[in-house]
Amino acid sequence: MALEPMAIGVMLGVGEDPRESIQKVLDVGVTNAQMGRPGDEWLKPEKAKELKKLAKQMGVTITTVFCGFDGESYDDIPTVQKTVGFVPKAPRKARVKKAKEIADFAKVLGVKVVAAHVGFVPEDRRDPEYRAIVRTVRAFADYLAKSKQKLSLETGQETGPCLLRFIEDIRRPNVKVNFDPANMILYGTGGPIEALKLVGKLVVGVHAKDGVGPTKKNQLGTETPLGKGEVGIKRFIQTLIDLKYKGPLTIEREITGPQQKKDIIKARKLLERIRDKLLAAAAGK
């Protein structure tokens, strides 16, 4: 199902009951979603086909499937450095295997974008681990290319210039960016608008998320409801329009319980007002 430009969506987790999970998308007033890694049971082809059928029946479009790995933790920056993505050396081989399973699952769903946090890539290009991570991500991108899928790298753990350099070193045209402006603030890795302008031509997905920066060393900042943090959501959307971005605006609110749903609905309404006003102004120029 084709989406309108800058259609508002939501980040979706798949629980034991996929119909209930997909219904959550509709309950907040949107019809598209990025999907987090489902349980291993749903990675099986027959279960993926079942999920695809359900999503179609319920009128929900899955735009991206995210990789996620056992053992990852986002408790603080040192823990992220040790546990997240393809950077930790010990589980790297197993994680690549799991990422391929997730890519195959996305293929069955008909989803062309697979996203992932790579982790804290070493800033020194001469570091042997930097080269090893480049080779790892390049090989995964090549695997995706066989199915005409893209690999979308989630922002946050690196500055804009480092992310751009890393992608240039991978040298694969199907490596793109899922831009999360709040993550840059939460990790203290620079201003998101400046970074967005730098990597804008590579952006195929974004998270509409907000937050405030860290107040203590080695700690992450704090996520906030959209519009209550330091992102500057109006400027963020205007920059996307200036960059000719037409993909979805995917709301991500990383809390649980009834407040999550309330915050997502408020975020949707805020995005609708800002987007529609800015698009109308751009059309009138």
Output the domain CATH number for residue 188: 3.20.20.150
The structure tokens listed for 103 are: 């890519």
Q: Are 14 and 38 in contact (CB under 8 A)?
A: yes
- Give Cβ neighbours of residue 235 (< 8 Å, ≥ 6 apart): 193
Residue 257: left (phi > 0), alpha (psi -120 to 50), or beta? left
User: 23 pLDDT band (50/70/90 cuts)?
Assistant: very high
pLDDT (0 to 100) of residue 1 = 64
Residue 2 lies in a domain: no
Instruction: Reply yes or no on whether the pLDDT at 174 is more than 70.
Output: yes
Q: Tell me which residue range forms the domain holding 63.
A: 8-283
CB 8 within 8 A of CB 251: yes
Q: Note whether residue 156 is domain-resident.
A: yes
In a domain, 3, yes or no: no
Tokens 């907000």 belong to: 210
Mean pLDDT over each residue of the chain, to the nearest integer: 96
**Interacting residues of 155 by C-beta distance below 8 A, sequence separation 6+:** 163, 177, 178, 179, 180, 181, 183, 184, 192, 195, 199
Compute the average pLDDT of residues 150-164. Answer: 95
Please check whether residue 1 lies inside any domain of the structure: no
The answer to the question of residue 104 being in a domain is yes
Q: What is the pLDDT of residue 15?
A: 81
As a whole number, mean pLDDT of residues 104-115 equals 98
Strands (DSSP E) contained in 50-208 are 61-66, 113-116, 150-154, 175-179, 203-208
39 found inside a domain: yes
- Looking at residues 18-24, what average pLDDT do you find? 91
Number of domains in the chain: 1
Which position has the higher pLDDT, 1 or 282?
A: 282
Mean pLDDT computed over 33-59: 95
* Percent of the chain at pLDDT exceeding 90: 94
Q: Specify if 77 maps to a domain.
A: yes
The strand pairing partners of 249, in sequence order, are 8, 206
Q: Mind listing the pLDDT tens digit for each residue in 77-107?
A: 999 999 999 999 999 999 999 999 999 999 9
